[in-house]
Each structure stands twice: as structure tokens, then as C-alpha cells.
Structure 1
Amino acid sequence: MTASPADIDSLSGLIPFSECNDDELIVLADHARVIDERKGYVLAELGSTDEWDYYLLKGTLHLVSDDGKVLEIRAGTEAARHPVAHLQPRKYTLQAQTAVQFLRVKKALLVSLKYAPGRQVCMLVEDDEHHGLGVHPLYTEIYDDLLNDRLVLPSLPDIAVRIRQLIDQEEASVQQVATLVQVDLAISAKLMKIANGALYHGLRPVDSCQQAISRLGLESTRNLVVGFVLRNLFKEKIHTALLTRHAQHLWEHSVEVGAIAQVLAEVTPGMSPDEALLVGLLHDIGELVILSYAENYRELAEDRTALERIIVELKGELGGIILHEWGFSEAFVTAAQEAEKWSRDPAPEPDYCDIAMVAQLHSFVGTTKMQHLPKLSEVPAFCKIAHGELTPKLSMKLLDQAKEQILEVRQLLMS
């Protein structure tokens, strides 16, 4: 192996580095290496996880999937302008078919560029890699729309946007927020129902929207309003009968995960229960985009296996893009991108992605889906909940004790 520093010319034609100016490229070049390797060299193994992304500069690579199918990537093609097989754990073994030259760069650099201000950079390059592996054309349509800034994203309903903007202003008062909330009588009624619900059992009942918001707090109100309007968003975006049922099941799952996440956050220091509820509601939002595109492919409505494969591949990246566009914090973006990376363990302290991950596993208990997932005790995120003092039995007991609260959340968000 021979390695040398990267130069501006080798970076400027690659995505997302092509979006950078010369000064940025100079800095980036210091963190990337150009490597020459022999035929037969393995850059990465199927199922492996590491800190690197690779770009093919010269030669030919073979990507070998778990079923033995082979895809060829050649230097100079459009696919080579993107990081090769960037999803982790790796979905392919990357092996040099000829002598090769490739650029190796830390994934953290690409993550920092992905949502840089003013940039709309797509990281969904494994669409190109799947050509020849029997992938549905929906992959290509979404990928092309992302690259050309045509992706059709859902808009957060106006009432939620206005309330978020008002509450994010430091001088916002409860009275101002109540005046705005009362424009939507259904939302106002639901906030009052929560303020008089199981979580506040024993307190004097509230009889006005303003009193409800005062009890809940402005941040909780902001998050709950978004949760209330999301259900309509799931209903309005999909029109095909079979896909409508899929969207309904998706919303039911999101509500279940959100309700469980709220309970888990209550016993985990540093976590806001209402924030955790909203993280749970939004963790699969990327799937909604895929379903809206899938309406143009009637056969997908009945081919559940093909649709699920597309969803698994794309929903994380799409969810991160949507939540970034909606102005949500990095905690929400990370949860959308990584809530099904079961071996994820970035820090000893828990974050909202950990909460969403454990909530998902709990939501699958008793279903066939759990047969293909790790046990709670095998997931690093579970060991961080409640100071790491929970066992699987204790966590199930905790949720059983909170069943009235969980049921109340379900009823409010499903009605």
C-alpha cells in the first residue's frame, strides 16, 4: 500500500466536496488520503463498521452482497463520484478487481458537510450501487430528485410552524401562545385533556386553554402541537387504499413508540418526556416520503417485500433531511437516521436516539418482527436508560405501571 495526502483536484469532482470552495477544500485535503492498492485487496468487509468512506479514483471495484451477487464500480463513472457503499454496517464486501487508487476520508467529515448551511447534499449513493441487483425504479426516482433538489418533502402544517416560531421567541407569553392555539379548537381541547389527564392526577382541573398551557409549559405545548398535527399529515399525503393502510399502521407504530419513549424518558435523568414523545412520533417520518412516491408505482402497494426493502434502505436518510428542513434540532435528526442501528453506542450518556431505539424494541415485543431483532439486554442503548438500572423484566413492569398514561397518549394522538 502507498498513501499520499489528497489534493484539491482529487476532491473537487467528488460529492459532496464539489459543493466546497477552495479554502474549504484545502482544509479537507489535510484529512483525506489517496491510497494505491493491488488487485484483490479488500477495502471493507460485509457487515463491518468503521470510521471511513471510500471514493474510487482509478481501477475497478467489486461490491459483493450477502447473497453473492456482484456489482461493478468503475473509476470515472457517476457512481464513483459518491462514497462507495457508505451505509454501515457494510452491506457489501468491497474488493479491488484491478489495481486501484481510492480516496479514504473520515465519515465525520461527510456528516458535517451533509447539512451545512445552504447545501442540499445527498448521501444516498447506494441507489447507484444497487443497479443490476434487481432494485425497483423508485430508488432511482428518489435518488435523482435528491441530487437535483427536486425531492418532494411534506410541509409541517402552518399552525404548528407558527406556534413553534412563537414559543422559540424568548419573550413569548402563555397568553400569546394560548391566543394562537385557540385558533384550532381541536388542538386546544386536546391540550386541556392532557393537562387534566393521568400525568397530572390529583391536581385541580383546568378549564381554559391558557391554564392548560401554563400547566404543561411552553416547550411541552410546542411539542404536543406538532404531535397533534402529524396525524393529519400522514392521512393527507397518501391516497391509494393499500398505501393508506400502510400509512395508518406507520402512524400507529409512531404513536406507540412515542408513548413508550415518554415513559422511558421520565426515569432517565436529562431526558425531557415531552421531547422524547415527539422524537418517537418523528423517528420514521422518512417513510412517509417513500409512501408518497410509491403511489406512482401501483405494483408496490401489493408487493410488501419490495416496499419494505426500499423503506429500510432510504427512510433514515430521508427522515434526517425532512427534520433538518423543518428546523428540528440535531437530536431529532440523529434519531431519524440511527434509531435502528442497534449496536449504536456513541457515548456513555443516553440521548434521544437511545430512548427511541429502546422504545421501538418494546413496541415490537410479542410480534414476529422481534424474532429478527436483538434482545433488549444486547442493545447498548438499553443499558443507559434509568442509570442503567433496568432489566428487561423491570422495564416491562415500568411500562405496565404506566399503561394508563400510554393509553391516554394513544387515544389523544389517534383520535
Structure 2
Amino acid sequence: MAAENALYVILKEKIKQDELVLPMLPEVALKVRQAADDPDISLAHMGELISHDPALSLGIIKVANSALLGRRVKVETISQAVNRIGLRQIKSIATAMAIQQVFVSKNSIVATYMKKSWQKTVDVASVAISLMDLYLKQQKHSPLSIDTLTLAAIVHNVGVLPIITEAEHHPDVFANPRFIKQAIIKLSGKIGGSITRAWGFSDELTLLAESWSDLTLLPKEPHYLDFIRAGAIYHGIFNDESTKEVLLASFAKKGILPEVDFMQCQQFKEKYLEVKSMFV
């Protein structure tokens, strides 16, 4: 257990001393967020800003053409995509799409872990977004929004990044993935909160990054946490049977799930794959 303990102790000390190197928000996401806060920004200007990043442009076009927006006529340009999504939603959607750029490393072993972490993030996010889209069709006056959830679900796991990066300095840790997994379980929430604060995200998003896996926090009303946790159940991140039963029953009672075993039906699985296609 020496390798695990060494990594854990080092991470805890760096957190305590505020010395942990946090990933930076991609520059294009920062520019989009700043532009979206400008009351005089135009859709044309926003489209031009996004068009400078080919990967983000492709992501935004995929979102605009997704089943989430319910449009049959496909858009082909970033200008058309931004007009379809709208300025109100583009800030969160563009940020979410750009965050993939921080899940990278020049070290091949670290890059593999980063890729797996991004895939897990997308898996959970796709479930959460699918469920919320279905939920909002029934609850048209809900204060929850799909764009906020999209960003929340994409950043929920961002705390793993500094842990994997720090592990790069301890190659023996990679010989046993359990060492990294334990550090992630114990520290990723706290680190995720530090990252979202550093990126200037809202207190609500910071709470989600810090608390999505803390099952002592159980909102009485439908909450973004519920949708992210449903994704964690679907992909086996929460795998204790009694925990799953309690959470699924709660989701059904709140109307987040039409019925407890809804995520096993073909309708949901097809919806999930449609949403996931936005990210791949």
C-alpha cells in the first residue's frame, strides 16, 4: 500500500498548502463565457468566435442537430448552429464541449487514463442528459435546464485530472490501478470543487462537482445531482445494491424515472445512444 499512501499523502498536502496544479479552462471556453456575459454580444459574433476552434465547432453543430433540439432540418454551418441553440444556452453548451481538451497528456500512460476518464464522464453525462430531456418534456415549468445539466455532468468528474497528473510522477502507481482509484474516491470531489471555483463557475456547479458522490446529501426535490447519480448507477459507479434500490426508488418518486427499471428499457437505451453521439 506504500504507493497508494504516498500518492494520497502528497495530494492531501498539496491541497492543504494550495499547491496542487489545477487544469486551466480551455482558452476558447473562457472566451465564449466572457463573450456570453456581454449584453451586447450578437449571435454572429459568437459564431465567429467559436468557428476559430474546429473541434468545438463540430461539437456545437452536433448539438444543434441532436434529438435534444428536436429539429429535423440539419444545420451545416456554425452560424446556423449558434442561431439554433441560442445565446442563453451556448455558454454552458460550448464550455461543456470544450472541456474534452483538458483530458489530454503527452505521456502515453497518463493519456490512456485521461481518455478512459473522459469516456466515463461522457457515459454518465449521456444518461443524465437523456433522462432530463425526457423529464422536461413532462415537467415544462421545472426550474432545471438541460444546458446547465450538460455542463454539470461534464465537470462532475473533473477532479480526477490533477490526481492522474500527479500520479505521473509515481510510475509504480500505474502498475496497480487500485491505487489511483482509491485516491480518486477519497479526493476527487474536493479537487473538483477547487477546479470549478478556479474556472469561475457558479456555486451550484461547484456543489455538484464536490458532492455528486456524497450520498449523505439527498435533495428532496428533483435536482441536477439526481440525474448525474442516475448515470453513475447505469454505468456501475454506484454498485451497492441497497444504495441503488434507494436511489432508484427516490428518482421514480420524484418523476425523474417513469418507473424504477426505466433505464433498462429499449426506449431509454436508444435515447442514451442518440445523446452520446454528440460527444463522439
Is 2:96 the partner of 1:233?
no
Work out whether 1:278 is the aligned partner of 2:155.
Answer: no
Unmatched tracts of structure 2, length 5 or more: 137-141
Q: Does the CA-based 8 Å contact 2:163-2:188 persist in structure 1?
A: yes
Structure 1 counterpart of 2:245: 377
Distance change in 2, residues 1:143/1:330 (3 Å): same
The 2-side partners of 1:190 and 1:334 are apart by 26
Conservation of the 8 A alpha-carbon contact between 1:160 and 1:229: yes
The 2-side partners of 1:343 and 1:405 are apart by 30
Normalized per residue, the structure richer in strand is: 1
1:361 pairs, out of 211, 233, 240, with 233
User: What CA distance in whole angstroms lies between the structure 2 residues aligned with 1:409 and 1:389?
Assistant: 17
Q: What amino acid maps onto 1:308 in structure 2?
A: K
Contact 2:189/2:209 (CA < 8 Å) preserved in 1? yes
Mapped to 1, the partners of 2:249 and 2:162 lie a distance apart of 27
Q: Is 1:175 paired with 2:175?
A: no
Taking the TM superposition and a 5 Å limit, the aligned residue runs for 1:2-81 are none
- Answer with 1 or 2: which has the greater Rg: 1
**Structure 1 partner of 2:267:** 401
Against the structure 1 CA distance between its residues 167 and 384, is the aligned structure 2 distance closer, same or farther, given a 3 Å change threshold? farther
Per-residue deviation, 1:133? 9.6
Q: Which amino acid aligns with 1:170?
A: P
1:413 and 2:273 aligned: no
CA-CA distance at 1:401 after TM superposition: 2.0
Give the Å deviation of 1:360.
1.1
* Contact 1:192 1:206 survives alignment (8 Å): yes
Q: Percent identity among equivalent residues?
A: 24
The Cα shift of 1:380 comes to 7.7
- 1:223 correspondence with 2:92: yes
Which of the residues 361, 383, 387 maps onto 2:255? 387
Shift of 1:261: 0.9
**Cα distance, 1:356–1:381 mapped onto 2, change above 3 Å:** farther
Cα deviation for residue 328 of structure 1 reads 1.1
Amino acid at match of 1:291: I
Residue in 2 that maps onto 1:255: 122
Return closer, same or farther for 1:256/1:385 CA change in 2, 3 Å cut-off: farther
Residue 136 of structure 1 aligns with which residue? 5
CA distances 1:195-250 after superposition (whole Å, capped 9, x unpaired): 223334554332332221121122432222222222221123x6142x33222221
**Cα offsets for 1:271-310 (capped at 9, x unmatched):** 2122212211111111111000000001111122222111
Q: 1:262 to 1:226 in 2, by over 3 A?
A: same
* Bigger mean CA deviation after superposition, 244-253 or 307-316: 244-253
Q: CA deviation at 1:262?
A: 0.8
Higher RCO (CA < 8 A, seq sep 6+): 2
Q: Among residues 176, 188, 194, which one is paired with 1:315 in the alignment?
A: 188
Q: Which residue of 1 aligns with 2:139?
A: none
> Displacement of 1:386 after TM fit?
5.2
Q: For the residues of structure 2 that align with 1:133 and 1:185, how far apart are their CA atoms? A: 44
Aligned length: 274
SS at match of 1:252: helix
Partner AA of 2:183 in structure 1 = I
How far, CA to CA, are the matches of 1:251 and 1:324 in structure 2?
20
Aligned residue identity for 2:172: E
Q: Aligned-pair RMSD on alpha carbons?
A: 2.6
Encode CA deviations 1:379-408: one digit per residue, 9 max, x unaligned.
2884377536632223433xx424444334
For normalisation by structure 2, the TM-score amounts to: 0.86
